Each structure stands twice: as C-alpha cells, then as structure tokens.
Amino acid sequence: MKNLSVLIVGAGIGGLTAAIALRERGFTVELIEKDPQWSVYGVGIIQQGNVLRAVQQLGLLDRYIDAGAGFDAVEVYLPNGIRAARVPSPRLLPDRPANLGVSRRALQQVLADAALAAGARIRLGVTVTDVTQNDHGVEVQLSDGQTVHCDLLIGADGVHSQMRSLVAPDAPPPAYTGQAVWRYNLPKPAGLDALHVYNGPTGAGLVPISNELMYLYLTTPEPGNPRYATAGLAAQMQSRMKTCAPALQELAQQIADDAAVVYRPLEWVLLEGAWHRGRIVLLGDAVHTTTPHLGQGAGLAIEDSLVLADTLAQHNDLPTALSAYRERRFERCAWVVRQSLAICMGQLGKGPPVDNAKATAEMFALTAQPI
C-alpha cells in the first residue's frame, strides 16, 4: 500500500518504533500521548540480541549501543548466591554485543529523536474520546477538540489499552499475577559483565545500563495487589531482600531514596483472537503484555512495529496486511508471554518451578529466529 495515513495512540517504545518504521516506508504518521510531560521512570531495561538486530534495520544501532551497556551472557544464581550457570547469549550481529542494558530515559530519547527526524508528528497531553470507522477510513475525536482522519489507527497504548476495547470488546482485562517488581539504580561494580539472575521466592537481578550504573530488580509475592505510598518505598524494598543472597543483602543497604524506587504490579495479557478490527490494530503490551522474567516485553513491541510496517508495505489491501502481521507474530509472542508467566507462577508456588537457565537458553534460540 502507498500513501497510508496512520495515527498511533501511545508514544512509548512500541509507538515510537512503529512511527520510525512506517515513516521509512513513506507513510504519514502522527502520534498522540496522554502524558503531557512524556515522563519515563528512570530505571533500566534489557534489550536483547533480537532487539539490536531489529533496530539495525532502522539505522539506530550505534545510537542504541552508545546509550547503554552491552553484555554477552546471563548468569543464573541459586537463592544462596552460588552461581548455577552462565548462559552465553547468541550474538546476532557481528562485532556487536549480544544484549544491551539501557536507561529507559536514554532509550526514549534515542527513539523520540529518530521519530521526529523521520518526520513523525507527536502531540502530548491528548487522548482519544471517540472513534468511528468505515471502509474509507477512521475518524478519531481527540480530547483537545480536534478530529483526525486517518487510514489506520494503531493502539500502542500499553497494558491498560483503551484501543484494545475497540478491537476485542469481550477480551478479559489484564490479569494480576500475584507478583510485583521493584527496581532501583545503583553504582555498577567492577566486573559486572553479564545479567545476573537470582532464583528463589524473591527473584532478583542485576543489569548493567552504563559504564557507571546498573539496576537491581526484585520480583516478590504481593498478595491482593497492594499499592504503596512513595514515602517508605526504600524501606519496603529493603525489607524484601532480607532472605536474598548475601551479595544482594549488601546492596540493599544502598537503597535509600524513596522517590528512586520503581514499584510495578505484574500483569499479563494475551489476545488470542484477531489483533485488528477493521482499520484499528494493536501492538506491544496492548495485545501481549508479558511479565519481565525473560526480558522480552519491549523487544516484542519493537519487533511488532517492524513486522506491521513490513506487511503494510508488502500487501495491497489492509485486511490482508493486518492478518499477515498477526500470523507472523502470534506464536513467538505467545511463547514469551506463557513461558514468562510459568516462571512467575513457579516462583510463587502456583506452578512447577521453571529452570531459568533452560528457559533463558530456549528464549535466546527462539528470538534468534527471523521475525
């Protein structure tokens, strides 16, 4: 298809990547983002080899790597701190790291700069109030009183997607797992050259994100899906590390700034049916929210964006393109969601324990395959 006009709801990782990929193919792109400040919490994110391969296609690889810290392995530790395995990560690109740890703020800056440079328009503090579509296009009413007419509406608006209700009104809401994740930035110790993953009822990990910084994450049981005030968050996070490996207990003493603790309940979504309805299509967390146990959430959204742009460029009619997009993405995304959830349930004692080293190796083998 040619001369396609696209409105993307959500200017996060998936939305921005979609904008870049679509602009590369000559489509007109506008993004809207409900957060007027376009804020991103300041801890890090893991971008694995399949993501680096994807962003190379967008011409962003050097900027991506410069923004973070590369590493080539995952080390798995027992709850007592003994190393159980070091799993090499496949390098999908010669002379490039297998994985990248990067600050979410730094990553957003790279993607936002690239989207704007590509000619995408971004509007902040705007939401969708109404959508009407027919065979000729989509009419979108916005909260600022404006109306946008487009050929395609993309929902890249996250786990609590408003657009999902337009595609699959009967889909169940996001499901809370019973577990939450805590994150905190710390100075990176010398010699941290891999992602360190600690098994146990309290899962934990150390991820390098720059020459000076790493982030610590914890996954903890949180029955009833509680919410915590910012005041006291550092002490709350510290208290959950009392049974962790000795090395982690030492790090816990450095957690002091309540405002720097990022706490998120873990939810999951997997839309089993169609990913589009008419001229509205979903990508990323809007259609397949995964828990972070395999580090692939953002990576899947980036891959979605590339595949969607590819199928739109390859096919001459919209229904065929959107069906082809889901066909290429569903099994890969579903495996990650289900396997990540299995790890989560195993940690909670709600399912059989999962061998993290084996699951990580299987994930690398799957994501090494072409998209």
pLDDT digits (tens, 9 = 90+) for 162-184: 999 999 999 999 999 999 999 99
Sheet holding 147-150, edge to edge: 128-134, 137-142, 147-150
**Residue 88, pLDDT score:** 87
Q: Which of 14, 195, 35 is nearest to 108 (CA)?
A: 14
pTM of the shown model:
0.95
For residue 229, count other CB atoms closer than 10 A to its CB: 8
* CA angle (260 as vertex; 257, 262 as ends), nearest 5: 130
The CATH 3.30.9.30 domain(s) of the chain lie at 176-267
CATH 3.50.50.60 in the chain, residue ranges: 5-68+104-173+268-367
Residues 6+ away with beta carbon under 8 Å from 177 = 265, 266, 267, 268, 291, 341, 344, 345, 348
**Confidence at residue 253, expressed as pLDDT on a 0 to 100 scale:** 95
If one looks up domain 176-267 in CATH, what number appears? 3.30.9.30
Q: What does the mean pLDDT of the chain come to?
A: 95
Q: Report the pLDDT value the prediction gives residue 50, as an integer from 0 to 100.
A: 95
Residues of the chain with pLDDT under 70: none
Q: Does domain 5-68+104-173+268-367 have CATH number 3.50.50.60?
A: yes
